[in-house]
Amino acid sequence: MSLAARGLTYAYVPGRPVLARVSLAVEPGEILFLLGPNGSGKTTLLECLGGLRLPQEGTVLLDGTPVPQLSPKDRAKKIAYVPQFSEAVFAFTVEDLVLFGRAPHLGPLSRPGREDREKARKALALVGLEGLATRPIHTLSGGERRLALIARALAQEAPYLLLDEPDAHLDPANQHRVLSLVRALAREGLGILATTHNPNAALVYGGRVLLLRAGQVLGQGDPAAVLAPEALAQAYGIPFRIVGDGAGPKAVLPRLDENLT
């Protein structure tokens, strides 16, 4: 049981791959944080894993089955994708938005029924937005919108969740709300992949990390091992230092160059 990538290579322009032979695996119950500088291929990797892009080389395996062999509907029953923003142009309500998550479970001409509404309501309760169900989406704050999108993915009832920078553009309290929800979902048994620019997310909330640079995997595994100052410096191009106690690292921070201050 896993969502795995084997030797993924993806190029927008032929000959210039943004992902080069990337392999990884997420199992139910764990979080894998994808780290890497802007343009390192994190989002592309996430989209390949979600079946939104077809890699030129390599395969994505869902419990051993190549994802391209699944119908879009069957894929969506197994893998839910949470974008940073929803581009709903109309003033749909939060409840409507979450109900959209039921799409892979419904026939082409059918509408969500009582049971689907029940599931949407449960998903909303799980992210703590049940009080906002009838509000139009665009009246919500950034943090609430992010939670609503996660609720939509939960209504999808997929065992694997792909999150594109779930903590981006949020204040510390909302970052904490979203990431502790992610942690709780993993404990419930979901397999979660999340891109992030916060190297400390894995140290605080638990999970493995994968460090990406220019489409290549610099390291993956336990954050204490992967997030070494050398590896981070290689990835981001600036010096880092590790803050920790005897039990291990607690945070990584940029190191100021004394000569320049």
Partner 1 sequence: MHTKLRGTVRAPRRVRQAVLCGLLLVLPFPLLFVSLFLGRVRLAPGDVVPALLGRGEPLIRSLVLQVRLPRATAAALVGANLAVAGAAFQGIFHNPLVESRILGVSAGAGLGAALALVLRAGPAGIQILAFGGGLAAAGLAAFLGAAFGGGLLVLVLSGILVNSFFSALLGLVKYFADPYVQLPGITFWLMGGLPAVLWRDVVPLAIMSAVGLGLLFLLSWRLNLLSLSEAEAKALGLPVRRLRFLVIGLGTLLTAAAVSVSGVVGWVGLIVPHAARALVGPDHLFLIPASAGLGAGVLLLLDNVARTAFATEIPLDILTGLLGVPVFFFLFMRQIQRGGGWR
Member of 28, 29, 136, 249 binding partner 1 (CB under 8 A): 136
Strand order in the sheet with 57-62: 16-26, 3-13, 57-62, 65-66
Q: Does 141 bind partner 1 (CB under 8 A)?
A: no
H-state helical runs in 135-192: 142-155, 172-187
Run of H or E residues at 96: helix 94-99
Min dist CB 109 to partner 1, Å, is 5
Measured from the CB atom, is 98 or 226 closer to partner 1? 98
Nearest to 180 by CA among 143, 153, 209, 210: 143
Residue 177 neighbours by CB under 8 Å, 6+ apart: 128, 143, 147
Measured from the CB atom, is 193 or 202 closer to partner 1? 193
Member of 14, 16, 64, 114 binding partner 1 (CB under 8 A): 114
The answer to whether residues 105 and 157 touch, using CB atoms and an 8 Å cutoff, is yes
Q: Does 165 bind partner 1 (CB under 8 A)?
A: no
36-95 residues near partner 1, rule: CB under 8 A: 47, 50, 52, 71-77, 80-81, 83, 86-92
Measured from the CB atom, is 103 or 225 closer to partner 1? 103
Member of 41, 101, 191, 207 binding partner 1 (CB under 8 A): 101
In Å, what is the CA distance from 235 to each residue of 1, 107, 201, 226, 240? 30, 46, 17, 11, 11
Summarize as ranges the residues that interact with partner 1 (CB under 8 A).
47, 50, 52, 71-77, 80-81, 83, 86-92, 96, 100-101, 103-104, 106, 108-114, 117, 134, 136-139, 156
